[in-house]
Amino acid sequence: MTTLLLVEDHAIVRAGLGRLLSTRPDVVLHNVVTADEALARIRAAIPELIVLDLNLPGLSGFEALRRLRLAAPDTPILVFSMHSEPIYADRALEGGAMGYVSKSAPPDELLAAIDALLRGETYVEKDIAREISDGLAQSGDYLRRLTGRDLEILRLLAEGRTLTEIAQSLGVAYKTIANTCTRIREKLGVRSLAELVSVTKGLGLA
């Protein structure tokens, strides 16, 4: 039997994936809501595959991916996210994921990704892979300078979070977030925090 761990806080998505996998008697699906719960589950029994949402309560995003990668270095991780922007897939793969599928993809594509990762292959949703190969250069080379943590901070800024709230959400010092925002502004060539928040819309993060 193949054990699959789904880290997802939306009950509808958990139920949908359960129905999708109901035709696969060789797959046992376990559900958790937070990254912390996933880490506890991994300590008890390491699954054959982890399917991870990037938007979770508590510890979320690329930090969750990083910690799961450290906790289960040999287990493939498939990011299953609401974000269909190529930059998210690019950073997820850089962060240790072996696959990326958006929640707008057809169900068959999610199954194809799961099968590919279980075979030890990398898989990126076809439409996103096409955009990465055809459109990333047109988006500007500066996007390549953004790290996973940069994107996480930009997403939280786009949601209207203050730097203090972002620091609390990510569990780091305010000064760390402020310094990172300064570096992000330098990378993107913007002068103020307000301008930085505005730029997130152009990057498809808001």
Compute the mean pLDDT over every residue in the chain, rounded to the nearest whole number. Answer: 86
In this prediction, residue 148 carries a pLDDT of: 82
**Which among 136, 155, 178 is the end of a domain?**
136
Best CA proximity match to 140, nearest among 82, 199, 195:
199
**Do 108 and 18 sit in the same domain of this protein?**
yes
**Do 48 and 114 sit in the same domain of this protein?**
yes
In this prediction, residue 134 carries a pLDDT of: 60
**Do 112 and 57 sit in the same domain of this protein?**
yes
**Do 62 and 157 sit in the same domain of this protein?**
no
Enumerate residues 6+ apart whose C-beta is below 8 A from 192: 185
Q: Is the pLDDT of residue 140 over 70?
A: no
Q: Is the pLDDT of residue 141 over 60?
A: no
Q: pLDDT per residue over 111-139, tens digit each?
A: 999 999 999 998 999 888 877 666 545 54
Q: pLDDT per residue over 15-43, tens digit each?
A: 999 999 888 888 999 999 999 999 999 99
**Do 8 and 40 sit in the same domain of this protein?**
yes
Of 140 and 45, the structure prediction assigns the larger pLDDT to 45
**Do 21 and 77 sit in the same domain of this protein?**
yes
- Report DSSP state, residue 140: -
The pTM score is: 0.74
Phi-psi region of 133 (alpha: psi -120 to 50; beta: other; left: phi over 0): alpha
**Which among 85, 109, 136 is the end of a domain?**
136
In this prediction, residue 136 carries a pLDDT of: 44
Q: Is the pLDDT of residue 185 over 60?
A: yes
**Do 113 and 151 sit in the same domain of this protein?**
no
**Do 120 and 145 sit in the same domain of this protein?**
no
Best CA proximity match to 4, nearest among 123, 92, 118, 119:
118
In this prediction, residue 180 carries a pLDDT of: 92
- CATH number of the domain residue 104 falls in: 3.40.50.2300
**Do 60 and 120 sit in the same domain of this protein?**
yes
**Do 63 and 154 sit in the same domain of this protein?**
no
Domain count, the chain: 2
**Do 16 and 73 sit in the same domain of this protein?**
yes
- Domain range for 178: 141-202
Other CB atoms within a 10 A radius of the CB of residue 41 amount to: 20
**Do 163 and 94 sit in the same domain of this protein?**
no
Q: pLDDT per residue over 168-181, tens digit each?
A: 888 889 999 999 99
Under a CB-based contact definition with an 8 Å cutoff, are residues 40 and 85 in contact? no
**Which among 136, 163, 185 is the end of a domain?**
136
